[in-house]
Structure formats: structure tokens, C-alpha cells
């Protein structure tokens, strides 16, 4: 009985992968075809491939270098602006925009996993 169960395991995994892939493709279609209604757009954000991207600057003083450093935060929200899917930092505004849009494309292509509440924004997740 156990041997028969082990023989079914690879097919069960393949079936689960197909279901996961189908659900990801369906959700991505929803993201991409989301009605870009201004009422859902957060202040300072713009729509990109159905998701919202926000880029903002921040400064930090480095005691080691003895100077103030400027960075650009980027945040990717779901299409409704309710959930932060990913955050990161760029050295320039253009760098931050490129990183956010690149992550969005990889996310929608299925190259990065759906974030969960424990690792949202964590670069090492």
C-alpha cells in the first residue's frame, strides 16, 4: 500500500504544479486587465501592468562617510493599493523605477513567488 502511495506522489506533485501555474496565470490576467480606476490609485503612485508603483526619496546621514546620502525607495502594491507586494531601494530615481518595473514583470511572469505576510519586502526571502 505504501509503495503504491509513493508511486502516486510524483503525479500528485505534477497536478499541484499545474493547478498552481493555472491560478498564477489567472491572477496575472486579473492584475493586467484591472480597470485602472483613479479612485484606487494611491497618492504618488502610478499603474504599471495592473499593479501600483510608488517611488519616493529619503536621506540618511552616514557618520562613517561624514555626509548625507540620498536613496530612493520603491514599493509595488496590488492593483487596489491595499497590499505591499515588494519594496526595495535604488541609488537614483531612474534606478528605483527600473528595479520596481523589473520586479513587477518577473512577478507577473511567475519568476518570483507570491509574497506572504512574513517576507513582504524582505530582499532575502
C-beta separation of 82 from 71 below 8 A: no
Report the range of poorest mean pLDDT among 27-31, 43-47, 78-82, 120-124.
Answer: 120-124
Beta strands in 15-103 (DSSP E): 45-48, 51-62, 67-77, 84-90
Q: Express each pLDDT in 60-116 by its tens digit.
A: 888 888 888 889 999 999 888 888 999 999 999 999 999 999 999 998 888 887 776
Which of 33-57 are b and which e, b meaning 16 or more Cβ less than 10 Å from the residue's Cβ?
Answer: ebeeeeebbeeebebebbbbbbbee
Percentage of the chain lying above the pLDDT 70 cut: 60
For residue 124, pLDDT over 80 is answered with no
Q: Please tell me the predicted confidence (pLDDT) of residue 68.
A: 87
Between 102 and 38, the more confident residue is 102
Which of these, 85, 59, 53, 86, lies nearest to 72 by C-alpha position?
59
Amino acid at each position: 500500500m505504501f509503495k503504491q502511495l509513493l508511486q502516486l506522489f510524483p503525479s500528485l506533485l505534477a497536478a499541484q504544479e499545474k493547478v498552481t501555474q493555472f491560478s498564477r496565470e489567472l491572477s496575472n490576467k486579473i492584475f493586467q486587465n484591472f480597470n485602472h480606476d483613479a479612485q484606487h490609485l494611491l497618492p504618488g503612485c502610478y499603474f504599471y501592468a495592473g499593479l501600483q508603483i510608488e517611488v519616493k526619496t529619503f536621506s540618511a546621514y552616514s557618520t562613517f562617510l561624514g555626509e548625507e546620502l540620498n536613496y530612493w525607495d520603491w514599493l509595488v502594491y496590488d492593483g487596489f493599493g491595499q497590499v505591499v507586494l515588494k519594496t526595495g531601494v535604488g541609488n537614483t530615481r531612474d534606478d528605483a523605477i527600473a528595479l520596481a518595473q523589473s520586479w513587477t514583470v518577473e512577478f507577473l511572469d511567475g519568476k518570483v513567488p507570491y509574497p506572504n505576510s512574513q517576507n513582504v519586502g524582505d530582499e532575502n526571502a
